[in-house]
Amino acid sequence: MTIDTDEIAQAVAQRRVWLQGQLDAAAARFGLKRLGEVVNTFDLRSAGAPASDGERAVWLRVVVEDPDYQPACRWDGNVEANAITGVPKPEVLHWADWHHTDSYLTGRRLRGEVMTLAPGSTIAPGGVLLDDPHLSQSWWTDLSAALDALAAHPVTMNHELGAVRYTINGVRNHFGVTLSERIFAGLQWATAHADLHWGNLRGPKLCILDWESWRPTPAGYDAATLYCNSLLHEPTAQRIRAMPVLHTRTGHIALLFAICRYLWTIGEGSDLDHTEKHLRCEGANLVSQLAH
């Protein structure tokens, strides 16, 4: 089948224009003035920009509902994250839902969110760390404290997305080994951001972005996903790999869970493609330990 690149480019351009129109409509709805350049997510599911309410700068975001992302991305995730304490993150100040009525994506639900503006800048917008992030010791200390506070947030075991079955299936597919469900008995579960990569972290002052996916996971999953996204900068990867939470039995399973998750994305053309060798090596070692 021949791929029409011009047709794809036109569809992408149309989606960008449409999202910007929705962002401007949301600004009018909330009485805001958009100030800066629009930032789109890679999948063009949401768009955001700095804005002003006349007294302070805020971040305005619009997201369009897409069944393909649910339940991994919870519609109320950002708003519900307001209840989490001890973690530096944006707070959702106002939000509203509506349904689009024009011909393009007609009937699709949208949400506008007005959030506090995150300080600093994103460490690696693509998510994968490629070089030294030059972060202070206080940043790392703050990250450790934030992950501890998040893990201590009360767990509601109805959003774990079948992590055990996902890991079993991933290990069977990627490593040719069928793990017994008995291996997963007694797992420690903790609340996690669940999408902790370098595109969701700010510096030089720590701030953690994008709370659509937070949920219960095997303890250590956030450290595990950050480790997987750090493999192209070995000193940072080793710093994260040394975290005590990844040296427990549950931490090993959390890391294997993360490795399986990212191995499914290999070949999509992102920087994660260059981590495949590292992911497979680490995963094979973990499978060997857990299977015996």
For 167-204, the pLDDT digits (tens) are 999 999 999 999 999 999 999 999 999 999 999 999 99
- Give me the sign of the Cα torsion angle 200, 202, 206, 211: negative
Predicted TM-score (pTM) of the model is: 0.94
Domain with CATH 3.30.200.20 in the chain: 5-117
What's the CATH superfamily of 5-117?
Phosphorylase Kinase; domain 1 (3.30.200.20)
d(CA 195, CA 209): 10
Helix (H), strand (E) at residue 147: helix 137-151
Sign of CA dihedral 166, 218, 292, 241: positive
pLDDT at 219 over 90: yes
- Numbered ranges of CATH 3.90.1200.10 in the chain: 137-290
Q: Which residues contact 133 (CB under 8 A, 6 or more apart)?
A: 123, 124, 198, 203, 233, 236
Tally of CB atoms within 10 A around 291: 13
Burial of 18 (0-12, 13-18, 19+ CB in 10 A): middle
pLDDT band, very low/low/confident/very high, at 1 (cuts 50, 70, 90): low
Pairing status of strand 201-203 against strand 121-122: antiparallel
The token pair that represents 207 in the structure block: 């701030």
Residue 41 is predicted with a pLDDT of 87
Is the bond preceding residue 204 a cis peptide, omega within 30 degrees? yes
| Overall average pLDDT of the 143-151 stretch | 98
Tokens representing 92? 């959702």
Judge contact between 252 and 246, C-beta under 8 A: yes
21-59 burial by CB neighbour count: b if 16+ within 10 A, else e?
ebbbebbeebebebeeebebeeebbbbbbbbbbeeeebb
**288, burial (CB in 10 Å: exposed 0-12, middle 13-18, buried 19+):** exposed
Fold of 137-290: Aminoglycoside 3'-phosphotransferase; Chain: A, domain 2 (3.90.1200)
Contact of 104 with 50, CB cutoff 8 Å: no
pLDDT tens digits, 76-135: 999 999 999 999 999 999 999 999 888 888 888 999 999 999 999 999 999 999 999 999
The pairing of strands 201-203 and 207-208 is antiparallel
Confidence of residue 2 (pLDDT cuts 50, 70, 90): low
